[in-house]
């Protein structure tokens, strides 16, 4: 597993940090060659909020899935609640999530920055909708 700290910023300028742990490249390669083609089951990771009071949940699981950019090497990251479900958005594959980080990683690893969104039921002191994320050094 690899750990990355991410600074998340909403469109009002509020920021908080997530500690995200996702499987390494070897697991991602195997997943990309098998699961994306044969089954909907995602690679599971975990996340933890470094500052409390911004999200409804303080920790939970993650799912990795292909980005919708036509590139089979780029993956989005879905941030899930504690047990992997809960108050969530749904997409065309019925995957449940509260935050989606677009083009989070590719074969080379986690990207330095990107965009995403957070849904209304997940926010406590944030503005729902589009967000920006970037790697944070700790």
DSSP letter string, 84-95: S-SS-EE-TT--
- Output the CA–CA distances (angstroms, integers) from residue 20 to 49, 67, 115, 126, in the order listed: 9, 18, 16, 19
Terminal Cα distance for the chain, rounded: 18
Residue 64 has what pLDDT? Answer: 84
Contact (Cβ atoms closer than 8 angstroms) between residue 134 and residue 116: no
pLDDT above 70 coverage of the chain, percent: 74
The CB-side HSE value for 68 (13 A sphere, CA atoms) comes to: 7
Q: How many domains, in total, are found in the chain?
A: 1
Residue 1 has what pLDDT? Answer: 78
Residue 23 has what pLDDT? Answer: 83
Residue 90 has what pLDDT? Answer: 54
Is the pLDDT assigned to residue 112 strictly greater than 80?
Answer: yes
19-28 pLDDT, tens digit each = 999 887 655 5
Q: Domain of residue 75: give its range.
A: 2-135
Q: Is 51 exposed, middle or buried (0-12, 13-18, 19+ CB in 10 A)?
A: exposed
Three-class SS of residue 78? strand
């Amino acid at each position: 597993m690899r750990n990355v700290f991410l600074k998340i910023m909403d469109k009002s300028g509020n920021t908080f940090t997530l500690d995200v742990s996702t499987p390494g490249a070897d697991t991602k390669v195997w997943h990309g060659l098998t699961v994306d083609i044969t089954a909907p089951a995602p690679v599971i990771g975990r996340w933890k909020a470094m500052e409390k009071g911004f999200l409804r949940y303080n920790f939970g699981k993650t799912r990795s899935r292909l980005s919708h950019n036509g590139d089979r090497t780029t993956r989005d990251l879905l941030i899930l609640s504690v047990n992997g479900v809960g108050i969530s958005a749904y997409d065309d594959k019925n995957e449940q999530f509260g935050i989606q980080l677009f083009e989070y990683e590719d074969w080379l690893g986690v990207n330095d920055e990107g965009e995403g969104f957070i849904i209304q039921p997940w926010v406590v002191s944030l503005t729902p909708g589009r967000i920006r994320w970037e790697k944070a050094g700790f």
